[in-house]
Structure 1
Amino acid sequence: MEWVLLFFSGLLAGVLNSIAGGGSFITFPALLFVGLPPVVANATNTFSSCAGYVSGAAGFYQELKEIRHFLPTVVLFSTLGGALGAISLLFIPSAHFEALIPWLMLFATSLFILGERVNRALNDLISRRLKEEPWFRYLSVFLLFLIALYGGFFNAGLGIVILGYLVLTGFSDVHQMNGLKLLISAIVSMTAIVIFIYDGLIDWSSGAAVMLGTLIGGFIAARISRRIDATYVRVGIIITSISLTVYFFYSTY
């Protein structure tokens, strides 16, 4: 029954990710619900999400090829940040990470709700000339490292953070942005997974159930997405994520 629950949570997450994002708001709590320790649930959720990132990034091959001069920087700092984030997770006691979960969920939920408004505000605030300053380029690389560090530590909300970063650094082509979002997510996740495997943190059977559901859900969503209003899906995710965040605060504190 646990495997069935995880499969259907992955199925729903795959549909949500393809339409509006936010699938981790379903899969991470589901992994906790079946009894996985918080750190293991987080590592397993990263593993189960990775296949979707990789296949999605491959679908934007042409768009990524157009900005190949930027890709070595992306690969290097996504790898470094993802590794440090994953290593940080290894050294935090399980009880401390459990106490952080409500705050991490609150952060990810806030990003999901306010992400588009924050992106627009950042874009209006920072001029094109400022973005071309040499010091701003160094700052953008450092921000990429910090974002990857967050993704290696806690995967939920990573895509929203990355999109905000890309807007901040001057990207405007939506296809390039989606391709980079998926590429950075894939690199961060794969780096973290290698470290989690070394430390034995991934529950393979649970992760496989979620991953299979996610892949099938993504395929289904590709067929039905034109008939579904993304606004309603987004509202549903917001209600779910807020409810789960309140629950985690209540159960933890």
Structure 2
Amino acid sequence: MTWWHGVLVLLAGVWAGAINAVVGSGTLVTFPVLVALGYPPVTATTSNAIGLAPGTISAAVGYRHELAGQKWRIVRYAVPSFLGACCGTVLLLSLPPNAFETVVPVLVGLAVVLVIVQPKVSTWVAKRRERGSGEVPQTTPLLLFLIFLVGVYGGYFTAAQGVMLMGIMGMLLTDPLQRLNGIKNVLAAVVNVVAGAIYAFVAPISWPVVALLAVGSTLGGQLGAKIGRRLPPAVLRAVIVVVGLAAIVQLVLR
């Protein structure tokens, strides 16, 4: 790796870490950079997953104020994320590299639609539940199952898993968007750490790339958390939609 390649990977890590903290889809920055520099797709995917894991942890720490009092709830959500990530890594190592290429843009598009319609639908769901039990459940079998599916996807290919998580949680929960964003960062961190740990032992890895991405994404995670926490809900939702649409375009053209 030349010095300028290293600088490029480091900067890509910073940008990806910031995007992941605010929205998700940082992989859509780093993955094309690594492939363009000559790394095989599988090596780029595995090195990227390990390198961006510290950034997702950094972003989750940056949202610690929004996550106050949510410990056991996050633990419940983290379990299906953990199991899904394990399944996703197995799929990556056993299926052809292009197995999910057709369905991934559709999944991201669905997540974007969910984010767009979330305010009206979540309000309707909350009112309907208030007429019943008077309380909106924080954990439902449907929510846990969908978190598991996103974990499978994230373990296979991490791009835009944040958009998907925000889409499903926004539909099924009535928490403030910033709290959901913090929970999203924790779940993404779980998926990336699990996938990265498995890849480290059984998949081809470029450790210089991992080190540069880890440093860059950690810095970017803190930067993104500072920016994201200050965004009004409407602006944050707009950013999620724009990044999601950009992800779809890039995935289709890739």
* Shared fold, TM over 0.5: yes
* 1:209 aligned counterpart, secondary structure: helix
Deviations 1:158-207 (A, max 9, x none): 11111122222223223321221111111111111111112033322112
> Who is 2:6 aligned against?
3
> Who is 2:109 aligned against?
110
> Who is 1:119 aligned against?
118
For the 8 Å contact 1:122–1:167, the answer to whether it is kept is: no
Q: For 2:136 and 2:176, how far apart are their aligned partners in 1? A: 21
For the 8 Å contact 2:155–2:192, the answer to whether it is kept is: yes
For the 8 Å contact 2:77–2:187, the answer to whether it is kept is: yes
Q: 2:180 aligns with which of 177, 182, 188?
A: 177
Q: For 2:154 and 2:205, how far apart are their aligned partners in 1? A: 16
User: Which residue identity is paired with 2:119?
Assistant: R
1:50 aligns with 2:56: no
Q: Quick check: 33-42 or 237-246, which moved more?
A: 237-246
1:64 aligns with 2:70: no
Q: For 2:112 and 2:168, how far apart are their aligned partners in 1? A: 16
> Who is 1:153 aligned against?
156
1:247 aligns with 2:246: no
For the structure 1 residues 118 and 24, does the alpha-carbon distance in structure 2 shift closer, same or farther, using more than 3 Å as the test?
farther
Identity between Structure 1 and Structure 2 (%): 29
Q: For 1:78 and 1:51, how far apart are their aligned partners in 2? A: 17
User: CA offset at residue 122 of structure 1?
Assistant: 4.1
For the structure 1 residues 65 and 6, does the alpha-carbon distance in structure 2 shift closer, same or farther, using more than 3 Å as the test?
same
> Who is 1:251 aligned against?
none
Alignment of 1:89-238 (within 5 A): 89-92=92-95, 96-98=96-98, 100-101=100-101, 103-104=103-104, 106-107=105-106, 110=109, 114=113, 116-120=115-119, 122-124=121-123, 126-127=125-126, 128-129=128-129, 137-218=140-221
The count of corresponding residues between Structure 1 and Structure 2 is: 241
For the 8 Å contact 2:136–2:174, the answer to whether it is kept is: no
User: CA offset at residue 36 of structure 1?
Assistant: 2.0
> Who is 2:37 aligned against?
34
Q: RMSD over aligned Cα, in angstroms?
A: 3.5
For the structure 1 residues 57 and 20, does the alpha-carbon distance in structure 2 shift closer, same or farther, using more than 3 Å as the test?
closer
User: Which residue identity is paired with 1:81?
Assistant: G
Q: For 2:171 and 2:238, how far apart are their aligned partners in 1? A: 28
For the structure 1 residues 125 and 224, does the alpha-carbon distance in structure 2 shift closer, same or farther, using more than 3 Å as the test?
closer
TM-score between both structures, scaled by the size of structure 2: 0.76
1 or 2, which has the higher helix percentage?
1
